Each structure stands twice: as C-alpha cells, then as structure tokens.
Amino acid sequence: MNIIEFVEVGRIPSDLFRRLADATAQIVGAHYMIREQPLDPFFALLENRGQFNSTDIVTRLRDLKSSNSMRIVGITDVDICIPILTFVFGEAQLGCCAAVVSLHRLHQDFYGLPPDPDLLFRRAVQETLHELGHTFGLHHCPDYACVMHSSTTVDDIDLKGDDYCVSCRATVEKCKDRAQQAASS
C-alpha cells in the first residue's frame, strides 16, 4: 500500500499537522500515517546560526522510516538551512524516501505581516508536495503553475498552483506504481 509517513520535527499545532498530512496525501493519492513520537531537532542545531541543518534532519528521517511506508516527511516550525544557503523551505533526497519541510518562513508574521492561517496552510501544502515530488525523482519544473516550480521567496510560492502539472503528475504516478509493486513482490 502507498503510505506516506508524517513526523512532527519539534512541535507543530496538532490540528495543522494532521490537516496538512491529510490534504497532501489526498493530492498525491496515497494513504498516510502519523508517527506517534515527534523527532526532537536539537541534534541538527547549528549553534552559530541559530538554525537547524536540514540535511542532517533528512538523513535522520530516512533512518526512522517504518518498513510499511513508501515515503517519510518531517514537518517542522524551526528555521532550517543547508550550510551553503541562508535558508531553505525544505529539503529532500532526490529519488530517495525522505524529506523535511519548514513552516518557519511560510508564516506571514515572519515578514512582519498579520497572521494568515489559510495562507500558511496553502503554502505548507504546496511545499510538502514540492519536497515529496523530489523524493519521487522530480526536478524543478518550468511550468509556473506547477508545485515543482522552484521558489526562493514566499511570493514565488504564492504564484504557483496547488498541484503537479500533467507531466510531473505522470512521474508521481509511475513512482507510486513502482512502490506498490515493490511492496507486493
């Protein structure tokens, strides 16, 4: 069965976390499970930057993945980065099973604007689909409306649509079929 495993990395408001898992899995066309035990991101803290190393988190998630899920996605509210970049919205291992998404810079309040829970949720879904897309082997997509289009700012995210384009969707489906076959053989 195609199951995406969701893990809280640090603390996320529980209804947001569950809604995000539910909405994302539905768009991918997969089942989901929620890992009971959140992952404390402290091991990935870069003390000199006050940020957390996303590559270390992804590696840890990969080790945590349960054998009956096809992908594992960590959702965090802490600020994450890879050491050569100021920050990242998320990171995934291309064609591998693990990804992490940070809500930190998806909040309107991060930019000194009034909180907007609906907008936060939309961005969180888009970014989770994006990172999952990388785990399905997708690169960045030239289609501006596709969730796989690359974004460096939240404005870029807001210009995208809420789903994969036809071509990216075909790759996701192929990948799910392969995961299904691997599980049943």
Question: Residues in the site for Zn ion, rule: CB under 5 A?
Answer: 141, 143, 146, 148, 165, 168
CB of 168 to Zn ion, least distance (A): 3
The contacts of residue 61 (CB under 8 Å, 6+ apart) are: 7, 9, 39, 72, 73, 74, 98, 99, 100
Q: Known catalytic residue: 131? A: yes
Which residue, 1 or 85, is less far from Zn ion as judged by CB? 85
How far is the C-alpha of 151 from the C-alpha of 130, rounded, in Å?
A: 10
Considering the candidates 5, 127, 131, 173, report the single residue annotated as catalytic.
131
Nearest to 147 by CA among 171, 123, 170: 123
CB of 22 to Zn ion, least distance (A): 23
CB of 14 to Zn ion, least distance (A): 27
Which residue, 119 or 165, is less far from Zn ion as judged by CB? 165
CB of 184 to Zn ion, least distance (A): 28
How far is the C-alpha of 95 from the C-alpha of 39, rounded, in Å?
A: 23
Which residue, 143 or 173, is less far from Zn ion as judged by CB? 143
Which residue, 60 or 160, is less far from Zn ion as judged by CB? 160
How far is the C-alpha of 88 from the C-alpha of 49, rounded, in Å?
A: 14
How far is the C-alpha of 25 from the C-alpha of 13, rounded, in Å?
A: 18
- Please give the angle made by the CA atoms of 94, 96 and 100, to the nearest 5 degrees: 75
How far is the C-alpha of 115 from the C-alpha of 178, rounded, in Å?
A: 41
Distance of CA 58 to the CA centre of its chain: 10
Provide the annotated active-site residues: 131
